[in-house]
Amino acid sequence: MAHAPTIDAFFDEATYTVTYLVTDPETHRAAIIDPVLDYDHKSGKASTRSAERVLAKAAERQASVDWILETHAHADHLTAAPLLKARTGAKVVIGEHIRDVQRIFKKVFNAADVSEDGREFDRLVKDGEVLTLGNLRIEVLHLPGHTPADVAYRIGDAVFVGDTIFMPDYGTARTDFPGGDSPTLYRSIRRLLSLPPETRLFMCHDYKAPGRDRYAWETTVADERARNVHVHDGVAEADFVAMRTKRDATLAAPVLLLPSVQVNIRAGRLPPPDDNGQSYLKIPVKLVAA
């Protein structure tokens, strides 16, 4: 069994997102995965409450944060990466295919300031790349399908899977966002589930499947292979694609889709301010004939 990191989870019920503080217990070097900025869409106001909780735990563990790891450009919450970077000096990391996502959404929001080369982030990582976390290794797994840029991070005996897969009783991620693809997601999941059966898997989200009265975000490869309602062992790719296509057609857009994407492709920074000094988020509007 690989060396086990210390893992602290922080659940944000407003966005159903789990942020992780992952610490090497021997060296006290740490990484923060998928941090949340508390954003009220109705008022346009943001707070740093969730990020402060993570920083307080890091201080309690006497941990030095080296990395802020994004599994992808999220469509359901704004990242707190800039604040955490300013407070810790950590590098903000995302998969190299963020460039594909920037290319897509730069046009959607007519965002001239957004690059198409990922320069907004400190480090772009590719499949198989390894980062150091004290005496631990962070291995990057490129797992596209939900978006082109999704990655998971394997640290010791744990994998932080992003939006690739959910708890066994909830299933898998949607694939109807621009650049998403259900056959690709199926193959990414099968790759993930080819890891040793005892490997711990940590979710980025949980929505409490019907019949479950508590949130949960930790499972194993073995449990997913045996019980995942969408993609357990024996589910063929064609059947998964048919299910995913039908299900995705019924899903509404995430509440924070438009603000989240245009901030997160900028590594959490707001759009450049207008001449009055105020930053604004855009809402593309299309008039649909009656």
**DSSP characters over 4-60:** PPEEEEEEETTTTEEEEEEE-TTT-EEEEES-EEEEETTTTEEE-HHHHHHHHHHHH
Asked if residue 270 is part of any domain, the answer here is: no
pLDDT tens digits, residue range 85-100? 999 999 999 999 999 9
Which residues lie below 8 Å from residue 22, measured CB to CB, with a gap of 6+?
5, 6, 7, 8, 30, 31, 32, 33, 133, 155, 158, 160
pLDDT tens digits, residue range 147-160? 999 999 999 999 99
What pairs with residue 20 in β-bridges? 9, 33
Range of the domain at 94: 6-264
**pLDDT of 1:** 46
pLDDT tens digits, residue range 4-63? 899 999 999 999 999 999 999 999 999 999 999 999 999 999 999 999 999 999 999 999
Asked if residue 42 is part of any domain, the answer here is: yes
How many domains would you assign to the chain? 1
Within 10 angstroms of residue 49's Cβ, the number of other Cβ atoms is: 12
The CATH number for 189's domain is 3.60.15.10
Asked if residue 277 is part of any domain, the answer here is: no
Asked if residue 220 is part of any domain, the answer here is: yes
d(CA 285, CA 282): 9
Asked if residue 282 is part of any domain, the answer here is: no
Asked if residue 273 is part of any domain, the answer here is: no
Q: How far is CA 191 from each of CA 130, 168, 197, 243, 251, rounded to the nearest angstrom?
A: 18, 16, 12, 19, 26
Within 10 angstroms of residue 13's Cβ, the number of other Cβ atoms is: 8
pLDDT confidence tier of residue 289, bands split at 50, 70 and 90 = confident
Which residues lie below 8 Å from residue 206, measured CB to CB, with a gap of 6+?
11, 16, 18, 166, 167, 170, 215, 216, 217
